[in-house]
Structure 1
Amino acid sequence: MLCKVPEITLYFWIIKILATTVGETAADFLNVNLGFGLTGTSLVMGVLLVGVLVYQLVKKQYVPWVYWLTVILISVVGTLITDNLTDNLGVPLWISTVAFTALLAITFFVWHASEKTLSIHSIFTTRRELFYWAAILVTFALGTAGGDFATEGLNFGYLEGVLIFGGLIAATTVAYYSKVFGSVLAFWIAYILTRPLGASIGDLLTQSPQDGGLGISDWAVNAVFFAVIVALIAYLSITKVDQPSEEEGEARRQEFLGRNPARASA
């Protein structure tokens, strides 16, 4: 396979934050506005995620709309996992945050022990892609738990949440460009932080003014953000600016897999 994930560009982070916000508001819209309930919403979105993820896995290269649809659905399901633990099972947010942090660490440990790398530029095999999507799901659940703990458990407001998590992402960016963080570490820290940032943006826009939000309807936020996502994905599909050339992609693939020929068939 060619690499199954996009290059990390500004477009990547814009779509990621928008997709995260859509995941937060879409889960609330289905759960509350359409009356699916938390359990019904979880079942519907879980089934949709499995179907789209299987389609993503059988593709032999990165396809923008398939990849980002998978991310959006994982965003919704990751949100619902934490919501079910909190609302249905009564698990405190701080416990969820600690548990998902430990689970993510275990996922990274097993991934690195198996593949000797956590680089997202090396997703050339089904096994590596499964590790990648497992890590992505846990980051969304962790980001939801950590973000909700900050804005609700610690009583940070939604605007404060946007500023705090946005500031942490900015600090991570500075650490990366100043060589304090390597590319892999910086990527995963930023990926985790975009989840509570996107959720804080969604809550700031949709929650009532009495609760510190702007009171914009969920459907309006979903419609606008989803339209922007579609437009950006269409642009990327046409221009391919988030994809390496075939020669570069093949050279990168051979560099990673050539170090251990046994992994090429994994």
Structure 2
Amino acid sequence: MTYETSETSTPGPTGVAHPPRWNKVPEVTAYFWIIKVLCTTVGETAADLLNEKAGLGLTGVSVLMSGLLAVVLVVQFRTTAYRAGVYWLAVALISVVGTLISDNLTDNMGVPLETSTAVFAVALVAVFVVWYRREGTLSIHSIDTTGREAYYWLAVLFTFALGTAAGDLVSERMNLGYRLSAVLFALAIGAVAVAHFALGLDAVRGFWIAYVLTRPLGASIGDYLSQPTGDGGLGFGTVVTSALFLAVVLGLVVYLAVTRRDVIDRAGAARRTA
């Protein structure tokens, strides 16, 4: 999916254009979606692993991971351009934190999954509304100011929390199981792709819908691989599953950092339309 953009940033509703800066997020390629799904899988299994092994409890693990995320986001905001290692570390950590937020609401506070799913959906829509009204665009080709980057990461956090709650709602409350849930969400993403390429769905809307759906897809894959066979999984465990997916993510991120295949060509992007 591609997005309309320009060499200078899109002016906000005041009509004042932001000065041109390097975009802070990667180009949307096949690598992007592969790493995104892998990171969501790691977010699911790592959150379960830390909760089981760290001895800090769900709340303690949440505080620890939120602190680590805050540190990495400070580094991310201080960079002047997209850096694959920093960016994807932030995505992996925000995946864990988003999972923990949803789990805390469900397990510690007893909030029904239906309620948390609805609340996160409303919160995400609110972020998009405010972002668009202030900046005039939701395109990830325009994440070139501090304000836009703040909206971007806030939206990403809510997509992970929403995806966790929605994924748990489908796989557990609807008794579909992890494997069938993964197939269902994969088909939903395929439907979004068809709607974009064949039916003219706006690229920006299509991107964010797919971005939300990859969270429960990755979580369902992670649960299917890690959970015991008696619970509908393959029984690989959270340690093996997390280590395997982290290794693949690390390999892909190193490859992208060296080749820069996912760095947005602003001159080329200026010639593209959604």
Partner of 2:164: 144
Which of 195, 206, 221 is the aligned partner of 1:175?
195
Q: Give the C-alpha shift of residue 179 in structure 1.
A: 3.6
Report the Cα distance in structure 2 between the residues aligned to 1:36 and 1:169, rounded to whole angstroms: 36
Q: Give the C-alpha shift of residue 180 in structure 1.
A: 3.0
Q: Does 1:196 align with 2:219?
A: no
Q: Structure 1, residues 38-82: CA drift from partner, whole Å, max 9, x if none?
A: 011101101000000011001010000000000000000000000
Paired amino acid for 1:182: D
Report the Cα distance in structure 1 between the residues aligned to 2:134 and 2:164, rounded to whole angstroms: 28
Is the deviation greater in 235-244 or in 135-144?
Answer: 235-244
Report the Cα distance in structure 1 between the residues aligned to 2:200 and 2:115, rounded to whole angstroms: 30
Change beyond 3 A, Cα 1:246–1:167: closer
Q: Give the C-alpha shift of residue 238 in structure 1.
A: 1.0
Q: Does 1:234 align with 2:261?
A: no
Report the Cα distance in structure 2 between the residues aligned to 1:241 and 1:96, rounded to whole angstroms: 37
Partner of 2:137: 117
TM-score normalised by structure 2 residue count = 0.89
Report the Cα distance in structure 1 between the residues aligned to 2:140 and 2:255, rounded to whole angstroms: 22
Q: Structure 1, residues 177-229: CA drift from partner, whole Å, max 9, x if none?
A: 11431110110000000000000000000111111000002111111111110
Q: Does 1:31 align with 2:48?
A: no
Q: Give structure 1 regions of 4+ aligned residues with deviation exceeding 4 angstroms.
A: 246-249
Calculate the aligned-residue CA RMSD, in Å: 1.4
Paired amino acid for 2:126: I
Determine which structure has greater relative contact order: mean sequence separation of CA pairs < 8 Å that are 6+ residues apart, divided by chain length.
2
Which of 108, 111, 117 is the aligned partner of 1:97?
117
1:65-84 correspondence to structure 2 within 5 Å = 65-84=85-104
Report the Cα distance in structure 2 between the residues aligned to 1:134 and 1:191, rounded to whole angstroms: 14
Report the Cα distance in structure 2 between the residues aligned to 1:168 and 1:96, rounded to whole angstroms: 21
Structure 1 unaligned regions, length at least 5: 253-266
Higher helix share: 1
Report the Cα distance in structure 2 between the residues aligned to 1:9 and 1:36, rounded to whole angstroms: 38
Q: Does 1:53 align with 2:73?
A: yes
Q: Does 1:6 align with 2:23?
A: no
Q: Give the C-alpha shift of residue 244 in structure 1.
A: 2.7
Q: Structure 1, residues 124-168: CA drift from partner, whole Å, max 9, x if none?
A: 100000000000000000000000000111111001111100000
Which of 174, 177, 184 is the aligned partner of 2:204?
184
Report the Cα distance in structure 1 between the residues aligned to 2:200 and 2:173, rounded to whole angstroms: 31
Q: Does 1:215 align with 2:235?
A: yes
Q: Give the C-alpha shift of residue 245 in structure 1.
A: 3.6
Structure 2 unaligned regions, length at least 5: 1-20
